Chain A
């Protein structure tokens, strides 16, 4: 009787042991990567299908397989609606066994997906969203914020421009929380670097006519006009500033706080010339970046934005971590990712803080004049490198409280 019981216990122990061993491998015998972003709206150009292409490039580079199991890439359009984003990511994880979600522009949607991935212990690699809350009060043990964030943009554009001689600032701010935050953050950086803010004007969201605001900016006499707005507002204000001859006079400089390569491409150099901005990636900086970007351009016909390049980089790093950890279990891989430095064409010696912030160098760029540009996509002149430790908040500053 006792022998039988012992044998039974041993069998049970074996069963448990093998179950654990199985858990330690690849769930569902496939590593599934879900690219969730805006594919039909405002942010389709800066992420969209391009992010999915970049992710597939990362998968191809490792031969489409990891630990002997295939890697699959799926993608979907969240249409900038948080409920669709939340529903799709939940369904992906629960039903389709998606192991990692990538990109997700639009801070509202990203915050919703962050809650889902936190609950499901799934890796979340954020490229498109801007808000630094994602590694601050809304941080998650399995969430990673990669390409940029609002804090890095504020430091980059605010501090770096003052160091380049742009001492006095005037802000043209979109009148809602995002704009206010961007203005406050940037103004703090400007003052920290020894500059001064001579004034600010608040324009309603989706303003069609910036003329009165631009006139105020012009008459303020400030050297730098900071555009604390985003999307359509940024595009409109830059266009109208160009029509007013604001920048051509050489007296004043426009500083864009949230501008992507795709925006500059859409505006054209004639309009966007001399605009100063901060970016996490520019294709024409070194051979490695050029080589990768040319390959990307062959597939899409466009040069990558920092969001698309970041999607590639983060998935590459994720796959390395899966390889090293020998499993695709979310928390285990997340811990591994934070241990390893990020070294690829996107970032050199990038490090990941415990709150999921990937710290890498940012760049202050000036948009070239049409006469300076040698060909298509030759848009930026990099005027300053901002070291990652300066650009991004430290763990203590971020306000992130993770258990353990």
Chain B
């Protein structure tokens, strides 16, 4: 199983040079233009949802695509931050930016605790440990008083950003979310193209060799885990402000599965893959809702087709075909 994952990953991996590639920069510019124009064409709340999930998937991809760690507990960071943000904004009356920040900090701390335990094991054991820990978070979300059980925290006020910008205006909210997304995306971009990112990739490709070169791989893996958890939390906290709610859906293990799906569909180890994958899954969930097709079945069929036919994912396939394979 583990070797198989490794084989796929080698095949799908993006060019691993230190500098951002030219096609990558062009793609970033196109993405930026599309996102700036999107709310005038599409329904803003929908695009905001896509952005939140895209950031979540990017954070997850940082871990699996670049450090080679398959976490099956990322819902805990996403949903946990959503609860913290919703609670601090609604009950403590904090401004939204502080609420999101606290949510992110919470997820980072949680990530540190989870990571410290989980990185001691590899492969399926790593995945199972993260799953078990995230189920504990789910259990707490179900049982604790402040989370409201299965009703969740509802009617969270959007408030004013920095005390000035009224986020109840859809466009103000949209560009705030866009800014958060771009911040997160650039952090990941920078990380991947930094010496730190290079070491992560070295660990992914061959951990014993990285150790023999003198790298303390556990430190690198833990840092990647915490960073990924924090960014997932940033996405979750932002989502809580957008939808004005935090519920069990966000901490359920299905959410951890959904983010794996998004990343796989878009392309593991590519920077833009998770964005495309998240957009695809969220679009299907929304637009198939009004059709008579059972949504989970359709998404399942697409997933199977993707794994069988184009294992690199959408962006991975495009990159392999048009930009050429690895140097």
Bound together: yes
Q: A83-B249, A87-B243 are in contact. Are A111 and B289 (CB under 8 A)?
A: no
Tell me which of B155, B247, B288 contacts A108 (CB under 8 A): B247
Distance to closest chain B CB from A98 (angstroms): 11
Tell me if B294 and A40 are in contact (CB < 8 A): yes
- Which residues of B in the span 265-311 have a Cβ within 8 Å of any Cβ on A? 285-286, 288-290, 292, 294-297
Q: Bound state CA distance, A115 and B243, in angstroms?
A: 10
- Contacts known (A77-B295, A108-B248); A83 close to B49, Cβ less than 8 A: yes
Is the pair B142, A176 in contact by a Cβ cutoff of 8 Å?
Answer: yes
A13 and B245 alpha carbons, distance in the complex (Å) = 43
Chain A proximity of B166: nearest CB distance (Å): 14
Report if A326 contacts B (CB, 8 A): no
Question: Given the interface contacts A83-B49, A87-B243, does A111 sit within 8 Å of B295 by beta carbon?
Answer: no
- Closest A-chain residue to B143, C-beta based? A176
Contact B150 A40 (CB under 8 A): no
Say yes or no for A142: interface residue by CB 8 A criterion: no
> How many residues of B are in contact with the other chain, CB < 8 A?
30
Tell whether, in the assembled complex, residue A138 and residue B154 are in contact, meaning their CB atoms are under 8 Å apart: yes
Contact residues of B between 128 and 176, Cβ < 8 Å to A: 142-143, 148-152, 154-155
Asked if B244 is an interface residue, CB under 8 A from chain A, the answer is: yes
Asked if B151 and A108 make an inter-chain contact with CB atoms under 8 angstroms apart, the answer reads yes
- A107 contacts B155, C-beta separation under 8 Å: no
Determine the chain A residues whose CB is within 8 A of the CB of B312 once the complex forms.
none
Given that A78-B289, A81-B249, A107-B150 are contacting pairs, would A87 and B46 also be in contact in the complex, using a CB cutoff of 8 Å?
yes
Task: Tell me which residues across on chain B come within 8 A of A176, comparing CB atoms.
Answer: 142-143, 149-150
How many angstroms from the CA of A111 to the CA of B288 in the assembled complex? 23
Asked whether B43 lies within 8 Å of A88 as measured between CB atoms, the reply is no
- A39 beta carbon closer than 8 Å to chain B: yes
- Closest partner residue, chain B, to A112 (CB atom): B245
A313 at the interface (CB under 8 A from B): no
What CA separation (Å) do A110 and B209 show in the bound complex?
Answer: 54
Q: Known contacts being A79-B296, A91-B43, A115-B244, is A84 close to B152, with CB within 8 Å?
A: no
Say how far A37's CB is from chain B's closest CB, in angstroms: 11
Interface assignment of B45: CB less than 8 Å from any CB of chain A: yes
Q: How near does chain A come to B132, taking the closest CB pair, in angstroms? A: 15
- Contacts A83-B243, A176-B143; is A115 near B154 (CB within 8 Å)? yes
From the candidates B249, B286, B292, name the one contacting A88 in the complex (CB within 8 A). B286
Contact call A112/B243, Cβ cutoff below 8 A: yes
B239 at the interface (CB under 8 A from A): yes
Whether A74 and B150, one on each chain, are in contact in the complex, defined by CB atoms closer than 8 angstroms, is no
Q: Which of B20-58 contact A (CB under 8 A)?
A: 43, 45-46, 49
Q: How far does the alpha carbon of A78 sit from the alpha carbon of B285 in the complex, in Å?
A: 9
Q: In the complex, what distance in Å separates the CA atom of A80 from the CA atom of B249?
A: 8
12 contacts between A and B (CB under 8 A): A40-B296, A76-B290, A77-B294, A83-B243, A83-B245, A84-B286, A87-B46, A90-B43, A108-B249, A111-B154, A175-B143, A178-B149
Known: A77-B295, A177-B142. 14 other contacts (CB 8 A): A40-B295, A76-B289, A77-B290, A79-B285, A79-B295, A83-B239, A84-B289, A88-B290, A90-B43, A91-B43, A176-B149, A177-B148, A177-B149, A205-B142
**Which 9 interchain pairs have the tightest Cβ spacing?**
A177-B149, A40-B294, A76-B289, A76-B290, A111-B154, A82-B247, A77-B289, A81-B249, A83-B243
